[in-house]
Amino acid sequence: MTVRRFALCLLPCFAIVAGCGDRIIDGQAAGERSVQGAEDLLAMPLTAAERTMMLEDLGESRAAYLDLRAHLVENAVAPAVRFDPLMGLDARALAATLDRGPSVWSEPAAVARPADLESLAWAPIGELSALVRTRQVSCVELAELFLDRLRRHDPQLHCVVTLTTERALARARELDAMLDRDQWLGPLHGIPYGAKDLLAVAGYPTTWGAVPYRDQVIDQTATVVTKLDAAGAVLVAKLTLGALAWGDVWFGGITRNPWNIEQGSSGSSAGAASATAAGLVPFAIGTETWGSIVSPSTRCGVTGLRPTYGRVSRAGAMALSWSMDKIGPIARSVEDCAVVFDAIRGADPADASTVGLPFSYRPGFDPAAVRVGYLQEAFGEGGPDSALCAAALEELRGLGVDLIPVNFDLATLGIDPYSLSFILSAEAGAAFQELVLSGRDDLLVRQERNAWPNVFRAAQFIPAVEYIQANRQRTLLMQMMADLFTRVDVYVTPSFGGAGLLVTNLTGHPQVVVPNGFTAENAPHSLSFVGRLHDEATVLALAKFYQDATGWHLRRPPGF
C-alpha cells in the first residue's frame, strides 16, 4: 500500500441488506426497514412498492452469498475476469516497436578481488558478476558474505523474516561447480538476493508478514524465484513486508530505515528496500499495488522498478489486488534493476495476466531521439521538497533533454482517481474474506481505521455495481494515458506528485524511482520516470542517464 491513505468508499452492497439475516425473510416490515437503511447509505431512494418488490430477490441473494462463503477458495485462485492495460491493442505490432535486439549491459571497469571482501557489499551487480566469472570471488564466498551481513544488521533493521541459509549455500556450491565446468548462466550467476516474504519458496515459511500466516508453508516456489534460480541468482533471505502488504509494521515489529533507524522504512516492500540500502543484499524483489516499491525505495534511497502490469508473473505470490499487483526489483542502481528485470519478465501459463514482449535495454541514451515530458502540474505543487524537484528538471535540461510539459486531463474527464481507489479495497476484501469471516483478522498487529482489518471488513459492503462503474471510469484513465503517450515517450515526475502514483498503478504503466538528493533532514528524496506500457527499456535508459550524471545513488547510510 501507499504512504498516502487511499479514499475508501464505504458503500454497502445489497449484501448489507441480506446481512440483516432473517429479518428480511421472517418479516416484511423488518425487511423493508433494512432496505430503507441501505438506501440511505447508498443515496438511492426507493418507493415503498419498489422496496417490497425486491425483498424476495434480496433473500435469494443472501442465500447465494452464504453458499459462496461455504466454498471459499484459496488466495491463489484469480477471478475469471482479468485486467488488460493494452485495451485490445495489437500485441504483435507493439512487439515490433519494442524489439531492438538483445539487451546490452555496461562493461564494468577492470575488477580485482579486494583485500577486504566486506567492501563488495556495495558493489554493483556488474562488478560482482565480473569477479565471479573470472573466479576471483566464489559464489560461496558471496553467499556467506551477505548471509553474515544479514545476521549482523537485522537486529537493528528488522528486515529479515527467514534466512534461507541451507538453500543458499547448496545453490552457491552448485554454481561454483558449474563454473569449474565452464558453465556460466549470465550476469546473475552467483549473485545473492532477498525476496519479499509474500513469494512462496518450497520448504520455507511464507508468512505474508501477518500473525495468522506466520507458520504457513506453501508447497510451491513462486515463478519469479524459479526464474532467478535459472539465472543463477542465490536467494539468501525472505525479507519483511508490512502485514499483508501495507506499511512497514509486521508481526516482528517495524522494519527500519538505514538512513534513520528511528524511522520505519515505509512499505510494503519494507525489508527489500531496507536490506538493499544497507548493503545486506545486492538486490531484492518487491511488489507494488499502490506505492509499495516507490515508497520504500524513496525513503531508503534506493532504485526501484515497478514494471508494466503483466510483465512479471505473480504465480506463487500473495494476491492482494488481481488487477493492480505487480512484481519488480529494488537495487542500488538503474542498470542493476534492468539486469534483474530481464531475468524475471515473460509470459507464464500459471498467470494469465502475463505477456511475453521484447525487452531491449541499452545503457546509452540519446536525448534527441526520445520525447521526454515532465508532469507540469506535479512540479507546480510547491512544498518543502520542491527545490529538489526543480533542480532535477534543470539537471535534465543541462544534460540536453528538451522537456515537454504534459498534464493529466482529469478535470475534463470529470474523474477523481481517489474515488476509484476502492477497486483495490474490493479486490483485497475478496482476497481476504475468509480472514474476516473467521474472525482471524483480529490477530493482525495494526487494528485502526487505516489498516487492513477495517478495510477488509468495510470492503464486504462495496456494491458490485459500483465496482464495475469504477472500472469503467478506469478505462477512461487508460485512454487518457494512451493519449498522453502520443505526445511523449516517457515523462518525469516527483514520485508522489499529485495523483500520478495512483493513476499509473490503475493504468498499469511502468515507473522507475531513483534518488535525486536529500532533504534538509538528510533524508533521501526521489524522482520518478514513467513510460509507455511495456517500454521499460526506454524508461530505464533515461533513468540511468540521469542517475549516472547525478550520482545520488552512490551515497551510503552511515553505520553499515
**Catalytic-residue membership of 495:** no
Give the DSSP H/E element, type plus range, for residue 513: strand 511-518
C-alpha cell at 445: 498487529
Q: Which residues pair with 183 in a beta bridge?
A: none
Strand, helix or coil at 401? Answer: coil
| Spatial separation of the C-alpha atoms in residues 391 and 211, rounded to whole Å | 44
Strand order in the sheet with 234-239: 160-163, 234-239, 192-196, 283-288, 326-331, 303-306, 511-518, 524-531, 490-494, 372-375, 403-406
Beta carbons of 549 and 399 less than 8 angstroms apart? yes
Sign, CA dihedral 311-314-315-321, equals negative
Which residue's C-alpha cell is 483495490?
424
Active site residue 544: no
Cell of 119: 567492501
Q: How many residues make up the chain in this entry?
A: 560
Tell me how far apart the alpha carbons of residues 9 and 335 are, in angstroms, rounded to a whole number. Answer: 40
- Phi/psi region, residue 149 (left: phi>0; alpha: psi -120 to 50; beta: rest), is alpha
CA-based nearest residue to 149, from 174, 123, 130, 178: 123
Question: What angle (nearest 5°) sits at the alpha carbon of residue 459, between those of residues 435 and 444?
Answer: 35
Count of beta carbons in the 10 Å neighbourhood of residue 489: 18
466 near 515, Cβ under 8 Å? no
Q: Give me the catalytic one of 103, 129, 266, 268.
A: 268
**Amino acid in position 233:** A
In the beta sheet, which residues pair with residue 512? Answer: 305, 529
Among residues 103, 196, 297, 421, the one annotated as catalytic is 196
The catalytically annotated residue of 292, 353, 425, 495 is: 292
**Cell 480472514 -> residue:** 435
Q: How deeply is 360 buried, as exposed, middle or buried, from its count of CB atoms within 10 A (0-12, 13-18, 19+)?
A: middle
* Active site (annotated) includes residue 326: no
CA pair distance 552, 277, nearest whole angstrom = 12
Nearest to 1 by CA among 501, 342, 374: 501
Catalytic residues, by residue number, are: 196, 268, 292
